[in-house]
Amino acid sequence: MLDIKYIRENPDKVKENIKRKFQDKKLPLVDEVIELDRRIRELKVSGDDLRKQRNDYSSSIGAMMRDKRVDEANELKSKVVEINDSLSSIEKEEAELSLELKSKMMLIPQMMDDSVPIGVDDSCNVENEKFGDPVVLEYEIPYHADIIASFNGLDKESAGRVSGEGFYYLCGDIARLHSAMLSYARDFMIDKGFTYCVPPFMIRSDVVDGVMSFEEMEAMMYKIEGEDLFLIGTSEHSMIGKFKGQIIKESELPITMTSYSPCFRKEGGSHGLEERGLYRVHQFEKQEMIVLCKPEESMDWYNKMWNYTVEFFRSLDVPVRTLECCSGDLADLKVKSCDVEAWSPRQKKYFEVGSCSTLGDAQARRLGIRTKGDNGNYLVHTLNNTVVASPRGLIAVIENNYQEDGSILVPKVLQPYMGGVSRLVPKK
At 199-211, the pLDDT tens digits run 999 999 999 999 9
43-52, 143-152, 264-273, 367-376, range with the lowest pLDDT:
264-273
Q: Could you give all domains of the chain from N- to C-terminal order, each with its CATH number?
A: 4-105 (1.10.287.40), 122-424 (3.30.930.10)
pLDDT at 15 over 70: yes
Q: What is the mean pLDDT of residues 164-187?
A: 96
Q: What is the mean pLDDT of residues 167-186?
A: 97
pLDDT at 57 over 90: no
Residue-level pLDDT at 350? 96
pLDDT interval class at 274 (50, 70, 90)? low
Residue-level pLDDT at 72? 78
pLDDT at 79 over 70: yes
Q: What is the mean pLDDT of residues 117-121?
A: 96
Q: Which residue has the higher pLDDT, 45 or 267?
A: 45
Percent of the chain whose pLDDT exceeds 70:
98
At 217-248, the pLDDT tens digits run 777 899 999 999 999 999 999 999 999 999 99
32-36, 295-299, 341-345, 370-374, range with the lowest pLDDT:
370-374
Residue-level pLDDT at 270? 47
pLDDT interval class at 271 (50, 70, 90)? low
Residue-level pLDDT at 272? 56
Three-class secondary structure assignment of 354-408:
EEEEECCCHHHHHHCCEEEECCEEEECEEEEEEEEEECHHHHHHHHHCECCCCCE
Q: Which residue has the higher pLDDT, 12 or 1?
A: 12
